[in-house]
Structure formats: structure tokens, C-alpha cells
Amino acid sequence: MADYAIGDLQGCFNEFNTLLQRVNFNPSKDHLYLVGDIVARGPDSLACLEFLYKHQDSVTITLGNHDLHLIACYLLNKPANPHDKLSAVFQSDKLARYIAFLQTQPLALYLAQYSCFISHAGLNPDWSIERALQHAQFAQQCYQGDNAAHFFTTMYQPHPSRWHEQLSDAEKFRYIVNYFTRMRFLTADKQLDLTAKGELTSGGNLTPWFMHPAITNSEQTLIFGHWAALKGKTPHKHLLALDTGCVWGGAMTLIELASKQKTVEKSHLLAK
């Protein structure tokens, strides 16, 4: 019996399947935690969804920005970006089931047995883990509820600069989702910047979220994806970056949570 976490699949099913075979993943007794971005940009998002749906009792996904975008396109009847290569997904006769399955998944989770917090993009330095989970639960209620389409309609509007209780539910939803799924760099006062996306030095006067003292001094293990440019490297052992850019010609990374042993599969795609 083992628990694993794995970085962004982004439609790279062959590498994903190879990794599971290499660790002898057994869905009848093992559990797999995915850090999000199951779909988009890679060659076989449909196969990824099919596998996860089939084995849903053995997997948990902390949704990423691409996963939320897929749900939004479906609920709002909007075409996906052609670059996301989702045609097969939208042509599937099981699409409604896959969307409903994704909507059951969380934005963040905490595994007490490993003192481990998992989300797609990381942890806002202003939030304790308890507060982060509360915010995640609020957002989940939004995208899982009967009014989910309304919240997805507003998801791409401007990011609220600061949190305050006078924000509308839609604004709170957008604020929370952006930190959990799009965060990389923060301003000096820990406000989200959505423009810088590259390596650690590409943010200019901005600071990577995990360089703030509340994060660097944390005693919890923080597992995240989203930031392929990091190539899996962070300045602290308790920060585990699992997006190693498989869809961009890098690799896919899986980690066994008890031992922290990593297994890496190089991308089968030509480097971009």
C-alpha cells in the first residue's frame, strides 16, 4: 500500500502510464494525488481523463487552471483554445461524466499522516493551512453547486487586488481560484502578479510565493505543480515542485509520499 503524488499530466498519457507501471501502481490498494492540469496542450487528454475516471476511487486531483478552464468551456458552451488539443475530449460521449467527476475534486487538501499540503500552484503566504482549506472549501461549493456556471462566467474578470469581506461571492471565488491555480510571483506586500511566468529571476522586483518567510519557515511539506520553469528545483526540502514540464519536452515526476522517493520519466515528445 502506497500513496503517490504526481506532477502536471497535461495530456501526456504515455509518460503517465509508464510512471505508474514503473512503481507498480495498484489502484486496489494504492492512492494517487495529482497536483492538477490533467488536460490541455499534450497529445491525449482524453486518455488521462478516461484512466482517472475509471480509477476515481484511487485518485484525488487538486484542480489546476486548465482543469477549471475545461469545466468552464463545457458549462458555458464555449470553444476550447485549439492549442489545448481538446477536440477528442469534447467529442467524447462521456464528457458530461468527466466534467461531473472533475467538479467533485478539491482545490487543496492536507494529508495529516505526511504533514503535507497539496494544491496546484501553492499556498498564499498570508494563509495558514487551516485558512487555505476553508477558502478552498468555499470555492468548491461555488464550482460544485447548481449555480456553478455563474461563477465560471466571472472567473476571468480582473483579479481583486485585496481580500475583504465586502467582496461579492464571485469576487471571492475568483480571488481564491487565482491563488490556488495561477500563483507564481507576488509583490512585496504579497499581492498576486499574473504577468511573470518564467524562471525565478524573471519576476524582476517580484518574489516567488515560496520565498516569503511564512512559507520558508513552514514545518509542513508543500507539494505543488504549475511552474514548469522551475524544473522541479526549489530552495527548500519541504517545497516539492512536481511540474517538470513533460508537455514541453521535459519530464514527468512522481513521488512516493512516505519515503519522498522520486521517479522521473523523460518526455516522449520532442522538445519544444
Q: What is the pLDDT along the chain (272 residues), one digit of tens a residue?
A: 999 999 999 999 999 999 999 999 999 999 999 999 999 999 999 999 999 999 999 999 999 999 999 999 999 999 999 999 999 999 999 999 999 999 999 999 999 999 999 999 999 999 999 999 999 999 999 999 999 999 999 999 999 989 998 999 999 999 999 999 999 999 988 899 998 888 887 667 899 999 999 999 999 999 999 999 999 999 999 999 999 999 999 999 999 999 999 999 999 987 44
Supply the pLDDT for residue 200. Answer: 80
Q: Has residue 212 been placed in a domain?
A: yes
The domain that contains 42 carries what CATH number? 3.60.21.10
Q: 175: closest CA among 104, 242, 127?
A: 127
Q: Has residue 232 been placed in a domain?
A: yes
- Residue 60's SS3 state is strand
Q: Has residue 120 been placed in a domain?
A: yes
Q: Has residue 272 been placed in a domain?
A: no
- Residue 208's SS3 state is strand
Number of domains in the chain: 1
Prediction pTM value: 0.96
The parent domain of residue 222 ranges over: 3-266
Report yes or no: 236 and 222 within 8 Å, Cβ to Cβ: no
Q: Has residue 271 been placed in a domain?
A: no
Q: Has residue 193 been placed in a domain?
A: yes
Q: Has residue 228 been placed in a domain?
A: yes
